[in-house]
Structure 1
């Protein structure tokens, strides 16, 4: 057996296993994604990267989580990245520049600018969620969609790590 044949025989199975494992991890466990818009500014800025954990069956979502999902917008193919504001059964309202959940004002320290619109109140249906961007006044999010709720089966994963590449550019 010549050297090339031995090299191929030794390395091809290892490379194939590595490729298959990589595809499985990216499809079902975690994936790096780039944020293309200002809707999550100042938390996540344009061009920053996030690591999205896709094993939602193994974790529970909570208010304030940042989630990647398919929006309830006909014909939209891009994924959205927004903050989870309402869980199933929550009553969500925006009034006087503030968010209210189940009648209580929510302290949103991550917002840079007060909201300049009103919305709701709406009740989040079973197996659905309500999302808003952190840059509320320019974010194309639930307060502007015809259907403001995202079905559970449209969720991709939860952001577990933010990589602020904008700081490298500054």
Structure 2
């Protein structure tokens, strides 16, 4: 009798644990997900960690995964997470495999293709670079968020339907649409909601 009670308790705990794991996968994969900024491409807006300087800790941000899944299109100024593999179609399985909990269980780290950038152009926009300034539909952009003036140039581009053009705020240290071209909206996997660490820099985006 006692052994049956113990087995029932083990079964109940196991069922609760499985439910908790599945719920965590659902929340972090499709709703909200914390993330550490690991690159310098969005500085000074968001600071990336530096493996060579222990005192430079990457900002912690909360990402809303569902905002674009629910049909909302990325807008000008949105700080977004993109899958830079624009030559392949993202599937539902990508959302599962890219889940932080799944990656930890599988001991895989394939985050290199996830980039954090700012939306500069939407579908139908004509973007060009003239005399050190980015122009959108012949209007100069006022970009008080960039770290420094951009060195170099990029070819003028008409953003296709269902695509966005993204760039990092640290223009001279960023891989973005200047390299890979306009990004399919299905490759925009989340929007940065707010920075929650460091505590003295908490801010909403």
**Matching residue of 1:11:** 13
Q: Does 1:85 align with 2:120?
A: yes
After superposition, where does 1:122-161 map in structure 2 within 5 Å?
Answer: 122-143=157-178, 145=179, 147-161=180-194
Q: Does 1:48 align with 2:50?
A: no
**Matching residue of 1:163:** 196
Q: Does the aligned pair in 1 maintain the 2:86–2:187 contact within 8 Å?
A: no
Aligned residues: 166
| Residues 112-132 of structure 1, C-alpha deviations (whole Å, 9 max, x = no match) | 312222223211001111000
Q: Does the aligned pair in 2 maintain the 1:90–1:102 contact within 8 Å?
A: yes
Q: Secondary structure at the match of 2:177?
A: coil
Higher strand share: 1
Displacement of 1:6 in angstroms is 4.8
Distance, in Å, in 1 between the alignment partners of 2:87 and 2:200 is: 35
Higher helix share: 2
Q: Does the aligned pair in 2 maintain the 1:50–1:159 contact within 8 Å?
A: yes
Q: Which consecutive unaligned segments of at least 5 residues does structure 1 have?
A: none
TM-score for both structures, normalised by structure 2: 0.72
